[in-house]
Amino acid sequence: MQLRSGRRLRPWQGAARRGRGGEDRVSALPDTLLLLVLARLASTNEVVRTSGVARRWRPLWTELDVLVFRGVDPDTLAGLLARARHPNLSRLEIQISRLDWGLPAWQMSLLLRAAEEHNPEELVFKVSSRDYLGVPFQLPCFARATSISFRIWNRNFVLPPAGTFARLERLTLSLCCVDPAEFLPRCPRLRVLEMDCFWMQHAVDVHSASLEELALNDMPHRDADDTTPRRVNIAAPMLREFKMQTFGDVEMMASFSAPAPMVETLSHRYIYFAILSRAVGLADSQLHVMDLATAMEWRSRSGQLDPVRVRVLSLVVVFNASYEDASRSFAEEIAGLPVSNFSIFKLEIRSMWHDFGAVVFDSLKAVTAIQRLELVLPQTMDRVWAPRRYSDYDPDDWTNEDFSLPNLGEMEVERFHLIDHDLDVLEVLFASAPNLKTVRIQLPGWVSQSGLGYKQLCSIFGENTSVKCYANGILEESEEILPPGTPSEQF
């Protein structure tokens, strides 16, 4: 709106202007409509400021059932909570910015008790201050809350002597320093728990009869000299989804109490940090684990029309420029997972080097019952230098591997290059899988079928006549079998 003098009115001034005859049409609206207008604002801070437009509006914000306070100092916040009049809030969000003097435990406890008086159904409480870490605050039992999210840096809490979170179904604890055994017995209906594992104990228990989803995010360990493994003992018969993410500075393992739950989705995320994390890989190797995850997926099996759910293990290995020795091998890391009945193994190797055989076979030692293998091999830099650069290698560490994949029926290989290393790996895989039925190889588009490398690939196919072998989607018939040791110097 533009005044005759040229000065523009602010939106709230335009809303408050009177109509003909001096009638304030906006303020004449019913309280329910005015509350809808105020509820559209981003935060209660804005609502309070907007309520100053007219005397009629000033007390209305106290009737809102959603209150969001962001960046409000604790003293002001306490006064605003005291003025709020809605007895049963649907949502209460409190975010206190970083304070130079910190937030004492007694003051945090007072704010939480003031929040409890409004019986929020959903509570979000975030404090950036990291002082007073030795003094725990008291967390009331929000009897009406179904969802609670706390993000409080390096702070512990205690519960009142009596009382339960009677309706709580979802709980998120971020950066808190608390043992789950201290609060889980008070949460009889909890279904979802997301928690940063910022505890000081070497072992914690997660016991819940109602828990269906559990996500644990490991935090860096504060004591660099303490390398004792941290363990999570889980007893949750209704659990359907389990996720664990770790920085890897110390070993962290999860185990399920018998009987094991029917976990449909299980994932383990390993995040490597050059300073904090321990390396997982092979000795004298710069190939380390970046991501290790399992999940249940729908897959169609050969000869079956209807897809079935199978457990898939995915491993991503990356080149790590640091020369840090690995504390655990690939096989040992896989063996540390809470489940082992994998039907499909997907292995992706992201590296600037093409010597990957040791990685493949060390990983396969831990998943010998798989039925399908999917390999994504390193990308060679160019087709001219690849055969010269990677054909000079020492395969003695893995060409004589003695292990069997008796259930392996299908295998897919992407980025397969027709050089000695890749062909030797393929031969070992054929020899280790006596019941192999189908092999699909993806070759670079510029590969020539007249090259020695391609002919040697077809020779390997010809030695395994019981297997249907495809190269770039085309079924290859038996070709001339080349004598062993024929160099594959060209494509």
pLDDT for 79-118, tens place per residue?
A: 888 888 888 999 999 988 766 567 888 889 999 999 999 9
349: helix, coil or strand? strand
Of residues 191 and 479, more confidence is placed in 191
Question: Residue 270 and residue 291: Cα distance in Å, rounded?
Answer: 5
Of residues 430 and 257, more confidence is placed in 430
The domain locations on the chain are 282-491
- Contact assessment for residue 172 and residue 150, using Cβ atoms and an 8 Å cutoff: yes
- With 50 as the cut, is the pLDDT of residue 275 above it? no
- Contact assessment for residue 304 and residue 263, using Cβ atoms and an 8 Å cutoff: no
The pair of structure tokens assigned to 483 is: 């004598």
Nearest one of 131, 184, 176 to 157, comparing CA atoms: 176
Average pLDDT over residues 329-347: 85
Handedness of CA 454, 460, 461, 463 (dihedral sign): positive
Model pLDDT, residue 413: 97
| Helix 105-116 × helix 74-83 angle, to 10° | 20
The pair of structure tokens assigned to 47 is: 């609502």
Amino acid at 189: R
Handedness of CA 300, 301, 307, 313 (dihedral sign): negative
- With 50 as the cut, is the pLDDT of residue 388 above it? no
pLDDT for 3-56, tens place per residue?
A: 444 444 444 444 444 445 555 555 555 556 555 655 555 565 565 665 555 555
- With 80 as the cut, is the pLDDT of residue 391 above it? no
Q: What is the mean pLDDT of the chain?
A: 78
- With 70 as the cut, is the pLDDT of residue 181 above it? yes
- Contact assessment for residue 384 and residue 349, using Cβ atoms and an 8 Å cutoff: no
- With 80 as the cut, is the pLDDT of residue 488 above it? no
Model pLDDT, residue 132: 53
Of residues 31 and 170, more confidence is placed in 170
CA atoms in the 13 A half-sphere facing the CB of 4 = 0
The pair of structure tokens assigned to 103 is: 């937030």
Quick one: residue 302, left, alpha or beta (phi over 0 = left, psi -120 to 50 = alpha)?
beta
Question: Residue 411 and residue 377: Cα distance in Å, rounded?
Answer: 13
Question: Residue 321 and residue 305: Cα distance in Å, rounded?
Answer: 46
Q: CA 294, 295, 296 angle in degrees (round to 5)? A: 140
Model pLDDT, residue 131: 56
pLDDT for 138-168, tens place per residue?
A: 999 999 999 999 988 778 889 999 999 999 9
Q: Is 173 exposed, middle or buried (0-12, 13-18, 19+ CB in 10 A)?
A: buried
- Contact assessment for residue 144 and residue 120, using Cβ atoms and an 8 Å cutoff: yes
Amino acid at 451: G
Of residues 246 and 75, more confidence is placed in 75
CA atoms in the 13 A half-sphere facing the CB of 135 = 12
Model pLDDT, residue 172: 95
Question: Residue 336 and residue 342: Cα distance in Å, rounded?
Answer: 14
pTM > 0.85: no
Question: Residue 408 and residue 437: Cα distance in Å, rounded?
Answer: 8
Quick one: residue 244, left, alpha or beta (phi over 0 = left, psi -120 to 50 = alpha)?
beta
Model pLDDT, residue 407: 96
Model pLDDT, residue 460: 94
Instruction: Pick from 65-69, 321-325, 388-392, 475-479 the range whose average pLDDT is largest.
Output: 65-69
H helix or E strand, kind and range, residue 108? helix 105-116
The pair of structure tokens assigned to 381 is: 């830099």
pLDDT band at 211 (very low <50, low <70, confident <90, very high): very high
H helix or E strand, kind and range, residue 235? strand 230-235
- Contact assessment for residue 171 and residue 196, using Cβ atoms and an 8 Å cutoff: no
Strand-pair category, 137-138 with 157-158: parallel
pLDDT band at 292 (very low <50, low <70, confident <90, very high): confident
Q: CA 223, 228, 232 angle in degrees (round to 5)? A: 105
Model pLDDT, residue 221: 57
